[in-house]
Amino acid sequence: MDSDFGIPRELSPLQQLRSQYHPELPPCLQGTTVRVELGDGTTVAKAGDAHIIARAFPHTLGQPLAHFLRATAKVPDAQIITEHPAKRVGIVFSGRQAPGGHNVVWGLYEALKVHNAKNTLLGFLGGSEGLFAQKTLEITDDVLQTYKNQGGYDMLGRTKDQIRTTEQVNAALKACTDLKLDGLVIIGGVTSNTDAAHLAEFFAEAKCPTKVVGVPVTINGDLKNQFVEANVGFDTTCKVNSQLISNICTDALSAEKYYYFVRLMGRKHSHVALECTLQSHPNMVILGEEVTASKLTIFDIIKQICDAVQARAEQDKNHGVILIPEGLVESIPELYALLKEIHGLLKEGVQADNISTQLSPWSSALFEFLPPFIKKQLLLHPESDDSAQLSQIETEKLLAYLVETEMNKRLKEGTYKGKKFNAICHFFGYQARGSLPSNFDCDYAYVLGHVCYHILAAGLNGYMATVTNLKSPVNKWKCGAAPILVEFCRLIRLKFV
C-alpha cells in the first residue's frame, strides 16, 4: 500500500476500472469561452454581526455573486473572458480527506491546460504544512494518471488542516509570493474554508496578487447554505456507510440476539447519521440536533433507548440497530459542559491526571459516574476547531454500557421480560472516507475544479466554487462562485488565534 508522492503507482483492477470513468462537464463550462456575470454586492446574512464582519474584512466584504454562463448565453451584462495569460496556481488539501478530492485537482488541471498550455498547477505536499514549507509537486498528466476518480488524498497528502496563526498566514503569504502564484485553491470543509476567507482578506490587505479560492469538500456535509448544496465526499460516505449499516441490519435480523450501536463519523452535525438513516432504515437514530433542541440529558436518551428495547421485546424482537452521530457527545448539555470545563483546564495547563479534582461539583459528579474508558477519552486535548476529539470518544460504548446497566436493572425488577440485553459496538468512518468516490462525487469534484479556474480567470479573491441544481443531471448544473463571507459569518472566527 505504500506510495511516494508523484511516482505513478500500481492500481488494483478495481481502481483501474474506476479510473476509466470520465466525469461530464455542464454546457456552461464546455469549450474555452465562458461568460462571467457578476451580481450585486452581497451582504452577510445576520445584520447584527455585519459591523463586526465589516471591521474584520474591509477588503473582501460586499463582493458580488458570480455566475458562469456559456458564451452564447443571452445575458447582456455578462462579460466574456477572452484573455487567458499563463497562470501559476497552487492547490492544497487542507481538511480531512473526502472521496472525490483528487478530482478537484484533475478538473482544475484540465481547465488550466485547455485555456493556456503554459499554465502551471503546483500541488502542495503534506497539506498546509507543505504550503508553509513550500514543498510542491508539479501536477502533470503522469502524476494525475493514477489518481483520477480515486479516493483519499494520497496524491499530495495532508497533515494538518490549519492556516490560522500569524506565523502560518505569513508563511502562506511568503510561499505564494516566492512561488509567484496567481491563485491558491484550498480544498476542505468548514475550518479550511474559514481559513481561506481570512487568508483572502490578509492577502488583499498585503497587496499580494495571489487570489484565494475555497472548495467545499468534506464528508461531514456541514458546509451548506443557499449557495452550497452539497459537499464533495458526503454522497460516497453516506452510501458506503449505509451499505454497511444495511449489512448490520441483515445480521441483526439473522442472529436475532444483538443490539448494534453504530457511531458514524461526521463531526458536530448529524447530517451523515440522518442521511444514512434515510438510506438504510435502522430501528433508531439519536440526532444531536434533536437532543440539543429538546435539551435531553444522557439519562433521557438512555430511557428512550431502553423503552424502545422493552417495547420491541414485547413483540418478541430482541435485536435492533441504533445509529449515533459522533458529535452526539457535544449535543448532550451536561456532557458538553463537562467537556468545556475539561478543555478549559487543559488549556490552563492542568495535567489530565489532575483534572477530575478541579471540576465543578456538578461536572465532577457526572465525571465520576462515567465508566473508566470514557473518562480517559473525554480527557483528550480538543481538536484545532476547539471541538472534542469526536472520533476518539466511544459514545456508542457509553450508551451501550448505560443501556445494558438499565436493562439488567429492569430485568431484575421484572419490568422488562425480554432476553438478556446484548450490545455490539461499531464506529464507521475511516473505512468510508477512504472509499472510491461515487459517480456523483467524481462529477461534482471535477466540475468544481473547473469552476476554480474560472474564478481565478475572472480575478476573484475570497470566493468559494459553487455548483447548484445538483439534483438534476450534470447538463443542468449551474456554476458560479460565492464570496466565502456570504452566509458564512456563523463560521468565521474573528481573530487569528
CB 418 to its own copies: min, Å: 14
- Cβ closer to its own copies: 86 or 311? 311
Q: How far is the CB of 247 from its own copies (least distance, A)?
A: 4
DSSP state of 257: S
Q: Under the rule (CB under 8 A), what is the footprint of its own copies?
A: 1-3, 12, 93, 96-97, 126, 150-154, 157-159, 240, 244, 246-257, 260, 280-283, 317, 321, 372-373, 424, 426-428, 430-435
Which residue's CB is nearer to its own copies, number 154 or number 341?
154
Rounded to the nearest angstrom, the gap between the alpha carbon of residue 292 and the centroid of all alpha carbons in its chain is 21
Q: Which residues of 298-324 are buried (b: 16+ CB within 10 A; e: fewer)?
A: beebbeebbebbbebbeeeebbbbbbb
**CB 1, min distance to its own copies, A:** 4
- Give the nearer residue to its own copies in terms of CB position, either 80 or 253: 253
DSSP state of 380: S
Looking at beta carbons only, is 226 or 247 nearer to its own copies? Answer: 247
Nearer to its own copies, 317 or 340 (CB): 317
Dihedral angle, C-alpha 56, 163, 89, 66, nearest 10 °: -40
Q: Which is nearer to its own copies, 158 or 343 (CB)?
A: 158
Q: Which residues of 25-57 are buried (b: 16+ CB within 10 A; e: fewer)?
A: bbbbbeeeebbbbbeeebbbbeeeeeeebeebb
Of 231 and 466, nearer to its own copies (C-beta) is: 231
Query: Closer to its own copies at the Cβ: 123 or 126?
Result: 126
- Nearest approach, Cβ of 486 to its own copies (angstroms)? 30
Residues 6+ apart with CB under 8 A from 193: 186, 214, 216, 223, 464, 484, 488, 491
Give every strand in the sheet of 320-325, ordered side by side: 284-285, 320-325, 259-264, 423-428
Minimum CB distance to its own copies, residue 469 (Å)? 24
Distance CA 191, CA 492 (A): 9
The nearest distance, CB 266 to its own copies, in angstroms, is 15
Closer to its own copies by CB, 140 or 159: give it: 159
To the nearest whole angstrom, how small is the minimum distance from the Cβ of residue 366 to its own copies?
A: 21
Q: State the minimum distance, in angstroms, from the CB of residue 392 to its own copies.
A: 9
CA geometry: angle at 134 spanning 130 and 138, to 5°?
90
Q: Which is nearer to its own copies, 99 or 449 (CB)?
A: 99
Q: What are the phi and psi torsion angles at 134 (to 5°)?
A: 55, 40
Between 20 and 254, name the residue whose CB sits nearer to its own copies: 254
Q: Considering only CA atoms, give the Rg of the chain.
A: 24
CB of 135 to its own copies, least distance (A): 12
Exposed, middle or buried by CB within 10 Å (0-12, 13-18, 19+), for 119? buried
Q: Residue 258 Cβ, how far from its own copies at the closest point, in Å?
A: 8
Q: Which of 175, 208, 213, 209 is nearest to 85 (CA)?
A: 209
Nearer to its own copies, 154 or 182 (CB): 154
| φ, ψ dihedrals at 122, nearest 5° | -110, 125
String of DSSP letters for 404-467: HHHHHHHHHHTS--SPPP-EEEEEESHHHHTSPPPHHHHHHHHHHHHHHHHHHHTT--SEEEEE
Strand partners, 321: 260
Phi, psi of 397 (to 5 degrees): -75, -35
> Cell triple for residue 415?
419490568
CB of residue 97 to its own copies, shortest distance in Å: 4
Rounded Cα–Cα distance for residues 78 and 70 (Å): 10
C-alpha dist (Å) from residue 122 to 21, 86, 455: 24, 14, 17
The least distance separating its own copies from the CB of residue 50, rounded to whole angstroms, comes to 38
